[in-house]
Each structure stands twice: as structure tokens, then as C-alpha cells.
């Protein structure tokens, strides 16, 4: 812990374990490298996020993460071989095993969990053992530059340092509320060492002699499959009898509802028929009264015509009168 404090790694280890996954993908999608004057080296990464430009270089990353921009950053540096090639992580002591978990799970999220002491893992263990300061900000920046330059050719590689970028987004006052923060569940703690079969005995971490796999996870002994009791035999006749009873009950209910519906329809038709007969009688009476009025009007009209035109003598002359000369 004192070495981590001297290297200014403690603030970095305390950043909030969350990832704005969509914003991280947008950052890498819009990112482009900025080269030096000779165009021989990438000195910064420029991107565009939520309407705001963002430029990252080694010093910016170190400032936002509370790291120092000094130390060794060439992870390909050759050191004396601590372990034979292909050596399993199970040979590490508690200190180095815990460090290996930190490197593979936290510092190197794009590499995944190492099952053997190789390359990067051996580099970090050697630097910690010999107190060789590591420039973590430069290592992070180098990985980001590699991802930006190879994002179109290596589509299966995940975008690294999502937690780091999410922390930087908040520091740059970028609106991250549009993305759902995904919490990280893999934490490095005592449980991690216990999974690697280390146990605390007399205030010291000692290895459990039980066998373990290359990844350091507990190996569970093979277990016999659970005995499942055979289901009771099925009575087919009883099932059919129950089915028939259910169908009879349903048909009886449907028949009762249909009978009620029929009675209701018949009652409605009878009511309509009675109303129709009553209306027909009313129209018959009105028709008879109208005919009587028409007959009386016609009789009065004929009587008036006979009386009026008969008094004028228009109805008494005949054809013979036409030959009588006037007096």
C-alpha cells in the first residue's frame, strides 16, 4: 500500500466503478489521432461527445486520474525471467497473486484475466518487486491510441478503459445523464484472494493446499447428479372422466345462457308485434275518418254547384232553343 501511495495510484483505485457504455462507444467512434509536427508519433486523441470537443493526452489523463506522468511505460521492456514460460498463476504468493488480479482485471481491462504469467503480468510484478515506477497514464494513453488506429480492423476487440473514460467525461463536465451508468461488479478484495485459495491464518495469508485451476478459481469436486423421484403414475380414465365432467358443466352453462337469450329475444319480438298492431289500428281509424271527410266534402261540393248554376237557368235550355229568334 505504501508503494501504491508513493506512486500516486490510490486516487486512481478509488474512482467510481461505473461505465457509460454508449458514450464510450461514441467517443471511440468519433476519435481521431493528432500527430506531432513530423507525423511520427501520436501526441493526443481528439473526439467529439455530446456537442463538446474532448482532447486527451498523457498529461490530461494523469491529471484527471490523480496520477503522475512519470515512470516506465514500455511494457515490452525485457527483464530477467521470473517464471518459466507458461507458468500458472497458482505458483504466485499472496502479494503477487493479488497484484496480478489488479493488473488483469483493473489496469488492463482490454486484456482480460491472465491464466499464466506472461508478458504484461510479468512486467508489472517485476516493477512492483523492484520499486520501478510505472507511468500508468502513458500506458492507458498508448492503449487508447492503439484502439483508435485499429478500431476498423479488429472489430472483436472491446473498447478499453470504459471506467477511466467515464470518469474523465464527468471531469470534463460532459452531460452523461443521457446514458445509463452500468456498475462494475468485479471488485478486487479479500474475496478475490479467497477464490485464489489463500486464507488468513495468524494475520498472514497462506495458500490452501487444495488443487486449483490455472485461473485461480476454486475447483469444485465432481458431484453426483441429484436423484429425482419418479412422478406418480397417471390415471388416464380419471383424467378423461374429469374432462367429460368439465365439458358437460360448460355445455350446461352455455345451454342455459342460450335459453335465456332466446326467451329475451322472443319477448322483444312480441312487444314489437303488439306495438305494430296498435299502430295499425290507429292508422286504420284515421284512414276511415279521412275517407268520411272526403265523402262529405264531395257531397257538399255537388250540392253547391247544382244550386248555384241551376238558378241561372244554365241547365234548362236545349238544342232546340238555339233556333228561336230573340223577341
Q: What is the SS3 assignment for 90?
A: helix
| pLDDT tens per residue, range 273-318 | 888 888 888 888 888 888 888 888 888 877 777 766 665 554 444 4
User: Who wins on pLDDT, 1 or 170?
Assistant: 170
**Does residue 219 register a pLDDT over 50?**
no
State the pTM of this model. Answer: 0.55
Q: What is the SS3 assignment for 198?
A: strand
128 near 3, Cβ under 8 Å? yes
49 near 30, Cβ under 8 Å? yes
| pLDDT tens per residue, range 20-45 | 989 999 999 999 999 988 888 899 99
Q: What is the SS3 assignment for 242?
A: helix
pLDDT at site 214: 40
pLDDT at site 218: 40
Compute the distance between CA of residue 114 and CA of residue 215 in angstroms, rounded to an integer.
7
pLDDT at site 59: 94
CA distances from 200 to 189, 193, 211, 291 (A): 13, 10, 18, 122
| pLDDT tens per residue, range 227-278 | 666 667 767 888 788 888 888 888 888 888 888 888 888 888 888 888 888 8
Amino acid at each position: 500500500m505504501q508503494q501504491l501511495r508513493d506512486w500516486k495510484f490510490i486516487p486512481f483505485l478509488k474512482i467510481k466503478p461505473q461505465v457509460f457504455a454508449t458514450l464510450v462507444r461514441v467517443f471511440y467512434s468519433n476519435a481521431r489521432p493528432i500527430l506531432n509536427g513530423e507525423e511520427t508519433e501520436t501526441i493526443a486523441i481528439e473526439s467529439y461527445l455530446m456537442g463538446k470537443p474532448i482532447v486527451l493526452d498523457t498529461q490530461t489523463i494523469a491529471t484527471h486520474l490523480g496520477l503522475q506522468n512519470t515512470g516506465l511505460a514500455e511494457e515490452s521492456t525485457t527483464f530477467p525471467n521470473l517464471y518459466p514460460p507458461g507458468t500458472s498463476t497458482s505458483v504466485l504468493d499472496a502479494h503477487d497473486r493479488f497484484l496480478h488480479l489488479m493488473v488483469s482485471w483493473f489496469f488492463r481491462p482490454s486484456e482480460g484475466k491472465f491464466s499464466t504469467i506472461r508478458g504484461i503480468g510479468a512486467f508489472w510484478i517485476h516493477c512492483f518487486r523492484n520499486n520501478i515506477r510505472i507511468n500508468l497514464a502513458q500506458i492507458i494513453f498508448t492503449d487508447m491510441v492503439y484502439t483508435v488506429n485499429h478500431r476498423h480492423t479488429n472489430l472483436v476487440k472491446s473498447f478499453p478503459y470504459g471506467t477511466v473514460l467515464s470518469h474523465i467525461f464527468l471531469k470534463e463536465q460532459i452531460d452523461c445523464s443521457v446514458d445509463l451508468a452500468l456498475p462494475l461488479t468485479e471488485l478486487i478484495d479479500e474475496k478475490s484472494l479467497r477464490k485464489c485459495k489463500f486464507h488468513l491464518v495468524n494475520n498472514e495469508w497462506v495458500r490452501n493446499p487444495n488443487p486449483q485451476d490455472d485461473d485461480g478459481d476454486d475447483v469444485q469436486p465432481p458431484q453426483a447428479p441429484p436423484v429425482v423421484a419418479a412422478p406418480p403414475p397417471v390415471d388416464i380414465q380419471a383424467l378423461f372422466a374429469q374432462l367429460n365432467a368439465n365439458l358437460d358443466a360448460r355445455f350446461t352453462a352455455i345451454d342455459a345462457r342460450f335459453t335465456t337469450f332466446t326467451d329475451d329475444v322472443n319477448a322483444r319480438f312480441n312487444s314489437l308485434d303488439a306495438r305494430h298492431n296498435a299502430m295499425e289500428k290507429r292508422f286504420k281509424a284515421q284512414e276511415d275518418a279521412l275517407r268520411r271527410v272526403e265523402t262529405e266534402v264531395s257531397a257538399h261540393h255537388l250540392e253547391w254547384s247544382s244550386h248555384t248554376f241551376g238558378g241561372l237557368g244554365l241547365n234548362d235550355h236545349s238544342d232546340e232553343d238555339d233556333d228561336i229568334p230573340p223577341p
